[in-house]
Structure 1
């Protein structure tokens, strides 16, 4: 699918299940208004108005239902979608002729282990209010049934070309970043030695959704294998942030995806206990060691600031270069004076 998509997870509010010989029916809220999720997004009433008008003429099957946002795993359709005071209310239909639906989805929904829905959408217009991103208009692409998330109410993560935020544990701060080695270890760890799979995708910040079967389609890895599990490498996140503002010539991704990628980087920084590095007119470098000399030079030419600790390192490095040079100049002057005396 060629779309710029994000997704947001919501508990199945007002659950109601029924079934007949052919289908299993459910209803609930695909989105809840005015709730600030852990990612800092708030959906504003009316955000779906234009999207619902577009869907109105599509007959009974208005929007596909996927399992965990997997385009290759459709499990049904949404037959009704409408905004009310609480959010986007939907009714869905799942075909019982589908073995996966009948054998896994339906029993787990009845027991409550599948208790959330997640909408796949593109942000059309938004407004930043402090640290909150208000979504004023979105385009709907799909809705997914998902397993229970850590946040029982809502969790927003950017999806499609911008890979969803992943709540991996964090590797030690001193861990070096070796992207080529990390990719090899990721492939082995997730069983993607022959072709990319969903687990491999989640190790990156962006992928080309038109070429998901090509390893070259995946950019900006941010995890490595540590103690047999995937962990976020802080220096990988710092390096990805620098790429987004031009280091090493920048990163070649569509302009429409850049805000989503930056939003996810901000979330990883927050997980690291740090503020966003993307400031008005400047980019804050939080780890000089994460960048090559050329990358750092590029950033400094375009406008850059440093955290206190990194500023001390930069000053120390400059002084260590300057002092030997000054000493050589003094020695040369002394030698010149000596030669004149003779």
Structure 2
């Protein structure tokens, strides 16, 4: 079991630019910029299945890059729910990410809602993400001996 201060490191994409989710929402690059400038990673909660009482870790970094919203954080072991989420992640039984937000500026493009600016509240670890490509993986470091032997 990981210590509460360390946690299980995870990283992935919580959103991808220009890709419609199952609800027909599409985010454009820069949609999170104002929200992240106001709150930073510390202002965005890591929840399990969008459950407000189930804070399961912390986000250390949220960055908009060329692909989407890249997130890095740690699942902690401070509650039964957090330990459960960590066990699911380690086993590969849960790897989805989903965002909780308030739309600030949006426009319609046919059947799509194009989100130009959103106020990001939380990024949840979920079983079934609304955006199928929004996934995370535990960041498990490879020991140096194993890393070099693969290329020998």
TM-score, normalisation: structure 2: 0.77
Q: Cα RMSD (Å) of the superposition?
A: 2.1
| Alignment map for 1:12-27 (pairs within 5 Å) | 20-22=2-4, 23-27=7-11
Residue of structure 1 in register with 2:79 after alignment:
98
Contact 2:19 2:26 in 1 (8 A): yes
- Mapped to 1, the partners of 2:132 and 2:104 lie a distance apart of 27
Matched, 1:153 2:137: no
1:137 aligns with 2:117: yes
How far off is 1:99 after superposition?
2.9
SS of the residue 1:101 aligns to: helix
Larger RCO (CA under 8 A, 6+ residues apart): 2
Q: Is the 8 A contact 1:62 1:80 kept in 2?
A: no
Name whichever structure is richer in strand by fraction: 2
CA contact (8 A) 2:17 2:27 kept: yes
Shift of 1:100: 2.7
* Structure ranking higher in helix proportion: 1
User: Matched residues in 1 for 2:97 and 2:10: separation?
Assistant: 11
> Which residue number in structure 1 is paired with residue 150 of structure 2?
none
Residue 52 of structure 1: SS of its match in structure 2?
helix
Residue 39, structure 1, aligned to residue 19, structure 2: no
Q: Which residue of 1 aligns with 2:56?
A: 75
Q: Secondary structure at the match of 2:87?
A: helix
SS in 1 for 2:97: strand
- Please name the residue that 1:86 is paired with: 67
Q: Gapped runs of 5+ residues in structure 1?
A: 1-18, 155-342
Q: Secondary structure at the match of 1:37?
A: coil
Larger Rg: 1
1:49 aligns with 2:29: no
CA change 1:93–1:150 in 2 (3 A) is closer
2:74 and 2:54 map into 1 onto residues whose CA distance is: 15
Task: Give TM-score scaled by structure 1 length.
Answer: 0.36
Cα gap change, 1:149/1:81 in structure 2, threshold over 3 Å: closer, same or farther? closer
> Structure 1 residues 94, 112: closer, same or farther in 2, change over 3 A?
same
Could you say which residue in structure 2 is the equivalent of 1:209?
none
What whole-Å deviation, never above 9, does each CA across 1:77-108 have from its counterpart, x for those lacking one? 21111100000111112222323322x21121
Residues 40, 132 of structure 1: 8 Å contact kept? yes
Alpha-carbon separation, structure 2, partners of 1:37 and 1:145 = 16
Matched with 2:148 is none
Q: 1:50 to 1:42 in 2, by over 3 A?
A: same
CA distance in structure 1 between the partners assigned to 2:59 and 2:18 by the alignment = 23
The answer (yes or no) to whether the contact 1:31–1:87 under 8 Å persists in 2 is yes
